[in-house]
Amino acid sequence: MRSMWMLVAAFMFACMGVLVKLGAAYFSSTELVFYRSLFGVWITYLILRFYRLSIRTPHWRIHCWRGVTGLVSLLMFFYCLTQLPLATAVSLNYTWPLFAALFSTLILKEHIHWPLVVTVILGFMGVMLLLRPTVPDDQWFSGVMGIASGFFAAIAYINVKQLGNLGETEWHVVFYFTLISTVLTGVWLLFTSFSPITGHGLLLLLGIGLVATLAQLAMTRAYHQGVTLVVSSLGYSTVLFSSLWGVWYWNEILSPIAWVGMGLIVAGGLFSGIVGFRLAPTVTLK
């Protein structure tokens, strides 16, 4: 039952995707990332103060690298959410475990494990099937951005693992990520422009910040209390929840081939996690 917190997190992440798509009518994707991060940085700051944890860290270089790569991934993902069907955007972002499996060999200098190679090929076959029937010719840029969001997310997750090995708490990782995201997007918007905030737009921004924070809290509790492999597997229910939201709210009917592609992406990610779990501690995926 403790791993069921991941289902709560997955549902909240899917709700965040819905709110981001709705918020695109009022704000740019950069603004949405800014307000989402601003909400998160204050929440995590208050939590750190509540537990009387010091904000200082000796590992600021890795925090900066994780913050930048995570921000780039988030910007691309939010942009993809505003341009593509919800289920398609989420599925493309969830290619990050496939990239993480590759990075375990290319960046972490691990030995090549052929089961991982097979899962990566399986996942990227799913990407090709998902893109071809789902993304029109004039939206291929958005599709590439979705895949790139998974690429940078994988680097960010490797940085998170490194910070965990150095003893940094989850709250410090989230705090510095949201702080860096808020500062960088805020500076960018100062030199461009902020959209006016209407009553409806404000509700959407608060909703995005709230569900994103609740999702982070539920995911943190799931990883703390549940079995890692089970929790990671349940995380893919975000794709299912997003698909249901897309069908119900926007009538986003995907073709059978697209569903097969989504299934291959999920299967590739799940199998990469299973193989990595069995190879641990040789291969680090999270």
State the average pLDDT over residues 197-221: 88
| Structure tokens that stand for 262 in this block | 């989504």
| Structure tokens that stand for 98 in this block | 């496939």
Please identify which residue in the block is written with the tokens 């943190």.
220
Burial class (CB in 10 A: 0-12, 13-18, 19+), 86: buried
Quote the mean pLDDT of the chain. Answer: 81
Which is higher by pLDDT, 217 or 137? 217
- pLDDT tens, position by position, 175-199: 999 999 999 999 999 999 899 999 9
Which is higher by pLDDT, 233 or 161? 161
| Structure tokens that stand for 251 in this block | 């009538």
- pLDDT tens, position by position, 5-49: 778 888 999 999 999 999 999 999 999 999 999 998 999 899 899
Q: Can you give the pTM of this predicted structure?
A: 0.83
Q: Residue 279 pLDDT > 50, yes or no?
A: no
State the average pLDDT over residues 51-79: 93
Q: Where are the domains of the chain?
A: 2-279
- pLDDT tens, position by position, 98-138: 777 677 666 555 555 656 666 667 767 777 776 665 666 66
